[in-house]
């Protein structure tokens, strides 16, 4: 695996490769990332993984400062998975050039996390656009856990006629149905126990919604999650993942989207 911190050197290395798979990450890699990388390695001639904790997508300086880092372990994982290139840029390398494409933020960015994290999605689209302009991959591999982010990146790519194809990848979960996330490393043991209980309740809640045993009531489910140890609940919403709207009355094909805090850690997921 070759490490690059300079975009021009990376571009020189990859300029004649026409089937590049790209996996953007903020490091602190886990089994969810591993799944994306394995898929890229299978489907692409060469795979680039980037590690860059992007300050522009954090609305909270403390959150940015405390974002988990495990660079030595990340390197071990990337080598084991036979990644060809790691791009680990400094701030200026990704931000000190004029982009060709304009940031396109679809109105879906105002829903869900967009209501609670001001400027977050603009920061995400900005960095992903820059990384795409640097690497020009055939495919970008993104996880369904961050579904809203995935859709907004897809819409930006389509609007700007970028020739990269978005490959959505399934969410990888542990035996308790908890989605792998870098932020989980920051939870205390009792908080992990509370999280398992919360996910179990939400899973059961979705089942009852499908069976029409209950109607969706945010305040009821919010109070239940607070009782189980969530410190704060931003949203619990049901959305048709195809139309990106509330499902029609008899439609049972929807996802339950939620974001809540356990201690200082904000967790999002959908299933």
CA angle 126, 182, 83 (to 5 degrees): 75
Residues β-bridged to residue 47:
21
Q: Is 33 a catalytic residue?
A: yes
Q: Which residues are within 8 A (CB) of 100 and not within 5 positions of it... i.e. 6 or more apart?
A: 133
C-alpha radius of gyration, the chain, whole number: 19
Residue 243 CB: number of other CB atoms within 10 A?
11
Alpha-carbon distance 52 to 65, whole Å? Answer: 13
Q: How many CA atoms lie within 13 A of 247 on its CB side?
A: 19
Catalytic residue among 30, 33, 120, 156: 33
Contact 267, 195 (CB under 8 A): yes
Alpha-carbon distance 8 to 5, whole Å? Answer: 9
Catalytic residue numbers, as ranges? 33
């Amino acid at each position: 695996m070759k490490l690059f911190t300079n975009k021009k050197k990376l571009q020189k290395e990859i300029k004649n490769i026409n089937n590049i798979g790209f996996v953007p990450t903020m490091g602190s890699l886990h089994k969810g990332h591993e799944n994306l990388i394995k898929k890229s390695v299978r489907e692409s001639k060469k795979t680039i993984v980037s590690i860059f904790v992007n300050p522009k997508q954090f609305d909270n300086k403390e959150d940015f400062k405390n974002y988990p880092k495990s660079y030595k372990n990340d390197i071990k994982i990337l080598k084991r998975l036979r990644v060809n290139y790691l791009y680990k840029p400094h701030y200026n390398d990704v931000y000190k050039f004029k982009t060709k494409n304009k940031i396109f933020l679809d109105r879906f960015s105002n829903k869900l996390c967009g209501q609670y994290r001001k400027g977050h999605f603009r920061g995400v689209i900005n960095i992903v656009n820059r990384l795409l302009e640097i690497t020009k991959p055939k495919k970008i591999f993104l996880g369904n856990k961050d579904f809203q982010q995935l859709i907004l990146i897809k819409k930006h790519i389509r609007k700007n006629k970028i020739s990269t194809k978005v490959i959505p990848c399934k969410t990888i979960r542990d035996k308790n149905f908890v989605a792998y996330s870098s932020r989980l490393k920051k939870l205390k043991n009792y908080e992990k126990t509370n999280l398992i209980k919360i996910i179990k309740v939400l899973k059961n809640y979705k089942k009852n919604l499908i069976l029409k045993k209950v109607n969706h009531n945010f305040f009821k489910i919010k109070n239940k999650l607070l009782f189980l140890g969530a410190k704060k609940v931003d949203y619990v919403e049901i959305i048709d993942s195809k139309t990106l709207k509330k499902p029609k009355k008899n439609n049972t094909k929807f996802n339950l989207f939620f974001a809540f805090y356990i201690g200082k850690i904000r967790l999002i997921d959908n299933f």
